[in-house]
């Protein structure tokens, strides 16, 4: 009988030890969970380790650097190499464009190919060292011979068909006689040819390829005229 009571006591002691160990394990698990936030990342470091804080600061700094790089690209790189807003000043391109029109000029195409006939381009008539720019239409291409007789434009001795001119031309300028374009030159005219200062006149003349900034592709304002144009 004594042995029976003794065995019961030992079983009770073992059961109590097992129960205490389970409670201790549960407490440790709860402590560990409290060290984690909802994403499974430590929210505190009991040992005083500063590594998580350093990683967080490093992440914030990296984000700031990325945002700064994006802003610099938008402000500096995009306008210089990709896309730029330009405002029409004057009426030399009427009826296609009007004074005050806001245009988008893209600069990528002409880095890989040459301007085409009848493209509307933005260029620097006095070189890129000047801030002045003109908006005109390409008529003559490199190597061609241009001549204007009355209201007719001849390229390599053949009259071209085009109806961009607002009014008939009365001034031929330097193209009154055959004008041979160099391999890097373009002959441009404004659509409002009676008032346009363009390649017919010596102060502009044929436009060098290096002085062409880009191609006007879209009118963004006024909103009533929003869209592409030819």
Catalytic residue, chosen from 32, 56, 80, 92, is 92
Structure tokens at 223: 């909103």
**36 dihedral zone (left: phi>0; alpha: psi -120 to 50; beta):** beta
pLDDT value, residue 192: 95
Query: Does pTM surpass 0.85?
Result: no
Q: Give the domain ranges of the chain.
A: 2-79, 85-225
Whether residue 55 lies in the annotated active site: no
pLDDT value, residue 167: 86
Structure tokens at 113: 């190919």
**Mean predicted confidence (pLDDT) in 22-33:** 52
Can you tell me whether residue 214 is helix, strand or coil? strand
Could you tell me the pLDDT band of residue 8, with boundaries at 50, 70 and 90?
very low
Torsion of CA 190, 194, 199, 204, to 10 degrees: -100
**Mean predicted confidence (pLDDT) in 13-34:** 52
pLDDT value, residue 74: 53
Flag whether pLDDT at 120 surpasses 60.
Answer: yes
Flag whether pLDDT at 207 surpasses 90.
Answer: yes
pLDDT value, residue 4: 42
pLDDT value, residue 70: 64
CATH code for residues 85-225: 2.10.109.10
Q: Where are the alpha helices (DSSP H) in the chain?
A: 2-34, 51-72, 78-81, 109-112
Model confidence over 64-107: pLDDT tens digits?
787 666 665 555 555 556 788 899 999 999 999 999 999 999 99
Catalytic residue, chosen from 107, 136, 172, 196, is 136
Could you give the CA distance from residue 185 to residue 206 in angstroms, rounded to a whole number? 6
Model confidence over 127-182: pLDDT tens digits?
877 778 999 999 999 999 999 999 999 999 999 989 898 888 999 999 999 999 99
Whether residue 136 lies in the annotated active site: yes
Flag whether pLDDT at 50 surpasses 60.
Answer: yes
């Amino acid at each position: 009988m004594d042995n029976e009571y003794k065995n019961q006591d030992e079983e009770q002691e073992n059961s109590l030890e097992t129960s205490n160990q389970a409670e201790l394990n549960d407490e440790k698990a709860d402590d560990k969970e409290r060290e984690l936030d909802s994403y499974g990342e430590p929210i505190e470091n009991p040992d005083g380790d500063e590594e998580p804080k350093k990683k967080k600061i490093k992440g914030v700094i990296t984000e700031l650097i990325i945002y700064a790089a994006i802003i610099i690209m938008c402000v500096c790189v995009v306008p210089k190499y990709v896309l730029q807003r330009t405002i029409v000043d004057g009426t030399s391109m009427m009826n296609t464009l009007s004074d005050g029109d806001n245009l988008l000029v893209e600069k990528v195409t002409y880095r890989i190919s040459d301007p085409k006939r009848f493209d509307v381009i933005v260029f620097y008539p006095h070189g890129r060292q000047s801030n002045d720019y003109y908006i005109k239409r390409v008529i003559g291409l490199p190597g061609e011979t241009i001549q204007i007789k009355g209201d007719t434009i001849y390229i390599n001795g053949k009259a071209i068909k085009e109806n961009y001119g607002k009014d008939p031309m009365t001034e031929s300028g330097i193209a009154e006689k055959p004008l041979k374009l160099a391999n890097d030159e373009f002959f441009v005219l404004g659509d409002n040819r009676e008032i346009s200062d363009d390649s017919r006149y010596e102060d502009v003349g044929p436009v060098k390829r290096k002085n062409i900034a880009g191609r006007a592709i879209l009118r963004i304002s006024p909103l009533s005229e929003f869209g592409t144009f030819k």
